Chains A and B, each alone.
Chain A
């Protein structure tokens, strides 16, 4: 890893440490921010984690945090914590691009709920991070503004679609970050960049102000260096929001209190009919994770999830179908790119053709096909039934296991262009993450050793709906075992 600059990332700050120091006056939010901005200035030209660095706004926000601390006020549980936001979360008056030319220059007239909650908790937004256009991809190569490089090996992808957020945390550009996960877009880049990434239960974190990709699957979640930071961040952004009608009407469960409980007596499930295709180094780390948990007192049980293997098909019918509908709003009329033409229909054609990249067009067409007359029942209708099967199979598995363990990604970070011009090869990156989104359950990736070429491997933990407390309980044990 000759390209690695480990000087900057050897001792990563945690959000909990930063907030404790800032609240106690031991460090200033401005000083913490400046350390991060210095790393960005030094290295983001190479990494390209950010579409936009908010230097002035972040300095003003940090100075305000320090002012409040100086007057005896408590700015909140994330006081002075530098955070990066995936550039598909609305920030009022600040460009939000989804890494698409069709939204270049758009300034949202409101903040996403998660952005409001972060501000209320004292966090400092350092910038908007790069992604695969409209979150469609697994490598961040589909960005209209160029790819993000993996900070651990710049010849490789950071994963995707939240590759910019994962890279920002891994490179020390931000202490923590938010991403969105529709089919694995938090967990897979977390695995490839060696950080923690969590996809919460559908409905636990408000989607208000998250630019929609596939509304029944999208969920916002954290990236962090530690399990405890992920828990703290989730407790800030989670909980009911009347602005999102799919938001679960109850407070976010207490996750942080679970971290020191150990795993004695818990049942950890190994899925015996998991789709093949994971590299041997990834399988070896997974096996070690089971061993670690067994030694810590957990019982390993074998379960089957027969429909797991059909997740890819169900997902690539349902997600593009929802996307084709959601992305119909980009028509050159109210915001974003307009390419002039003699009449409105031609203007819409010209604007969408110029504004969307190849993968987004492909998924819009795939979804339009799946929903079109004559094909609806054969494709979309069938996919919805497979989705039910997957949820039922998981429910049966969770009668025997508290948490399931799988690989997060079939391989470590791969080289740019490795998936070539074959969309299916890229889609297979998410084979282990997708079924959870279809079921609406939580999942997370925890760094667990390294694989080929010394690159990080992530183990994925899955739990039933609202199973975040036990999922974090097990994640913390895996993390402890690596210290």
Chain B
């Protein structure tokens, strides 16, 4: 990957390699057909995005939300919250009052965050 401040290569489009990369980042699997179709669709959308290239945005401050909010804090007081059993009842698999998942270490998947 290029550095965070490098403009997109060619400045114009998105290719199958990039779609495969973002799919992997987003934990989505695509079949070959889906990859081709998604690449074409996203390329069409991304091409439309270049209408804003005509704007001079150098002096414009980014706007992340409608109002200039600062942190909203409350007093650090214990209050009732959602019921643990009710929450765990929704879990696909729970074990001894905890969420249970398949092994996280024993993986040959390239996405696995722990190396062996």
Asked whether A and B interact, the reply is yes
A binding-site residues for B, Cβ under 8 Å? 106-107, 109-110, 202-203, 216, 242, 245-246, 248, 307, 309-310, 312-314, 316-317, 324, 328, 331-338, 340-350, 352-353, 356, 361-362, 364-366, 368-369, 372-379, 381-389, 391, 421-424, 427, 439-441, 465
Q: Are B11 and A378 in contact (CB under 8 A)?
A: yes
- Considering the chains assembled together, what is the distance between the CA atoms of A378 and B18 in angstroms? 15
- B36 within 8 Å of A (CB atoms): no
Asked if residues A384 and B111 are in contact (CB atoms below 8 Å), the reply is: no
Q: Which 10 pairs show the lowest CB-CB distances between chains A and B?
A: A440-B66, A384-B62, A338-B92, A343-B107, A245-B72, A388-B63, A109-B86, A335-B90, A374-B2, A385-B60
Distance in Å from the Cβ of A326 to the closest Cβ of chain B?
Answer: 12
B85-100 CB contacts (< 8 Å) to partner A: 86-87, 89-93, 99
| Minimum Cβ distance to chain B for residue A24 (Å) | 37
A353 touches B69 (CB 8 A): no
B94 CB to closest chain A CB (Å) equals: 9
Taking CB atoms, residues of chain A closer than 8 Å to B78 are: none
10 interchain pairs, CB-CB under 8 A: A109-B87, A202-B65, A333-B101, A345-B27, A345-B112, A348-B27, A369-B22, A372-B21, A374-B6, A387-B62
Interface size class of B (residues with CB under 8 A): 35 or more
CA distance in complex: A334, B72 (Å): 27
Q: Which of A338, A368, A387 contacts B26 (CB 8 A)?
A: A368
Is B49 within 8 A of A313, CB to CB?
Answer: yes
What's the least CB distance linking A79 to chain B, in Å? 29
The distance in angstroms between the C-alpha atoms of A202 and B106, with both chains bound, is 46
Which residues does chain A contribute within 8 Å of B22, judged by CB atoms? 365, 368-369, 372
Across-interface contacts of B6 in A (CB, < 8 A): 374
Which residue on B lies nearest to A92, using beta carbons?
B86
A362 and B29 within 8 A (CB) = no
- Contacts A333-B101, A374-B4, A378-B8 given; indicate if A387 touches B63 (C-beta within 8 A): yes
> B95 to nearest A CB, angstroms?
12
Of B25, B74, B99, B103, which one neighbours A368 at CB under 8 angstroms?
A: B25
Taking CB atoms, residues of chain B closer than 8 Å to A389 are 55, 57, 60
Complex CA distance for A310 and B64, rounded to whole angstroms: 16
B:43-64 near A, CB below 8 Å: 44-46, 48-49, 51-52, 55, 57, 60-64
In contact, A423 and B52 (Cβ under 8 angstroms):
no
| Contact in complex: B90, A106 (CB < 8 Å) | yes
Contact assessment for B42 and A362 in the assembled complex, using a CB-CB cutoff below 8 Å: yes
With A and B bound together, what is the CA distance between A362 and B23 in angstroms?
9
CB distance from A134 to the nearest CB of B (A): 14
In the complex, the chain A residue whose C-beta lies closest to that of B110 is A345
Report the bound CA distance from A245 to B18 in whole Å. 36
Contact B29 A353 (CB under 8 A): yes
A386 and B106 in contact, given A334-B91, A422-B44, A440-B66 (Cβ under 8 angstroms): no
Contact across chains for A386 and B29 when beta carbons are under 8 A apart? no
Q: Name the contact of A350 in the complex, choosing from B23, B29, B91 (C-beta under 8 A).
A: B29
Interface of A, helix, strand, loop or mixed by DSSP? helix
Determine how close the nearest CB of chain B comes to the CB of A254; give it in whole angstroms: 21
Contact A242 B66, CB 8 Å, known A343-B107, A374-B2:
no
With contacts A333-B91, A366-B42, A440-B65 known, what are 16 further pairs, Cβ within 8 A? A203-B66, A216-B66, A246-B67, A246-B72, A313-B48, A316-B45, A341-B102, A347-B101, A365-B28, A374-B2, A379-B49, A384-B62, A384-B63, A385-B62, A386-B52, A386-B60
Q: How far is the CB of B52 from chain A (nearest CB, A)?
A: 5
The interface residues of chain A lying within 8 Å CB-to-CB of B27 are 331, 345, 348-349, 352
In the complex formed, the residue of B with least CB distance to A359 is: B41
Specify which chain A residues have a CB less than 8 angstroms from the CB of B26 in the assembled complex. Answer: 324, 328, 352, 361, 364-365, 368
Report which of B8, B65, B93 forms a contact with A338, defined as CB distance below 8 A. Answer: B93
Chain A residues whose C-beta falls within 8 Å of the C-beta of B21 in the assembled complex? 372
| B60 engages A388 (CB within 8 Å) | yes
Taken residue by residue from 1 to 43, chain B's Cβ proximity to chain A (1 for < 8 Å, 0 otherwise) reads as 1111111100100100011011101111100000001100110
Say whether B76 faces chain A, with CB atoms less than 8 Å apart.
no
Please, which residues of chain B bring their CB within 8 A of the CB of A336?
A: 90, 92
**A334:B99 contact, CB within 8 angstroms:** yes
Do A216 and B64 contact each other (CB < 8 Å), given the known contacts A338-B93, A374-B4? Answer: yes
What is the bound-complex CA distance between A307 and B51, given in angstroms?
Answer: 11
**Interchain CA distance A216-B4 in the complex, whole Å:** 24
A441 to B66, CA, bound (A): 8
Chain A proximity of B44: nearest CB distance (Å): 6
Q: How far is the CA of A332 from the CA of B18 in the complex (A)?
A: 25
- If A364-B28, A365-B19 touch, whether A374 touches B1 (CB-CB below 8 Å) is yes
Contacts of B74 in A (CB 8 A): 242
In the assembled complex, the Cα of A142 lies from the Cα of B44 at a distance in Å of 20
- Quick check: B7 and A107 within 8 Å, CB to CB? no
Of the candidates A107, A110, A348, A424, the one whose C-beta lies within 8 Å of that of B44 is A424
Contact partner of A384 (CB less than 8 A), chosen from B4, B64, B91, B99, is: B64
Among residues of A, the one whose C-beta sits closest to the C-beta of B108 is A343
Closest to B21 in A: A372
Please report the C-alpha to C-alpha distance between residue A146 and residue B93 in the assembled complex, in whole angstroms.
29
Q: Which residue of B lies closest to A428 (CB)?
A: B48
